[in-house]
């Protein structure tokens, strides 16, 4: 037996090329980053639409509560609410719905005390609308009705 065989020098570790590792990291990382980006985009649009619905509901209640009590509050609330939602109503599947209820006797306008307005939106995401679930938003506002003044 040769002495050189038993005392071999350790071989240096082979250094691998980083190109393959970078490709794999990129392939794993891009879908994760893109899904976070798209999810953030959808969340911001949903939050914006919810806040717009809340503002439109409050404003519709305020405007229609100041109208005379003998006017139809349901039609007033729908016109004002949809007008305030404007282009954001397109993000709601089936459009935006506004309903109004009055407390008191609608035949006796002096006894109508409150106007309650409800706004609803089934938010449909602009990104992959058929794959992401709908979010149901609802907003309510209540305003005291102004009494009829005059004859």
Three-state secondary structure along 58-123?
Answer: HHHHHHHHCCCCCCCHHHHHHHHHHHHHHHHHHHECCCCEEEEEEECCCCCHHHCCEEEEEEEEEE
The pLDDT value recorded for residue 88 is 81
User: Is position 15 within any domain?
Assistant: no
User: Is position 74 within any domain?
Assistant: yes
Q: What is the pLDDT of residues 103-117, one digit of tens each?
A: 776 566 566 678 899
Q: What is the pLDDT of residues 11-60, one digit of tens each?
A: 666 666 566 788 888 889 999 999 899 888 888 888 998 999 999 999 99
Structurally, the chain folds into a number of domains equal to 1
| Low-confidence winner among 25-39, 72-86, 119-133 (lowest mean pLDDT) | 119-133
User: Is position 151 within any domain?
Assistant: no
Q: Which domain holds residue 74?
A: 27-144
The pLDDT value recorded for residue 31 is 92
């Amino acid at each position: 037996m040769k002495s050189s065989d038993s005392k071999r020098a350790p071989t240096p570790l082979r250094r691998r090329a980083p190109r393959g590792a970078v490709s794999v990291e990129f392939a794993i990382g891009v879908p994760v980053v893109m899904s976070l980006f798209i999810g953030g985009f959808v969340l911001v649009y949903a939050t914006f639409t919810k806040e717009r619905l809340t503002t439109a509901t409050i404003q519709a209640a305020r405007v229609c509560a100041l109208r005379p009590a003998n006017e139809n509050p349901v039609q007033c609330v729908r016109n004002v609410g949809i007008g305030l939602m404007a282009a954001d109503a397109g993000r709601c599947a089936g459009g935006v719905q506004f309903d109004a209820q009055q407390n008191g006797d609608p035949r006796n306008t002096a006894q109508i005390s409150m106007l309650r307005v409800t706004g609803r939106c089934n938010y449909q995401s602009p990104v992959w609308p058929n794959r992401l679930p709908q979010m149901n938003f609802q907003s309510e506002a209540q305003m005291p009705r102004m009494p009829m003044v005059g004859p």
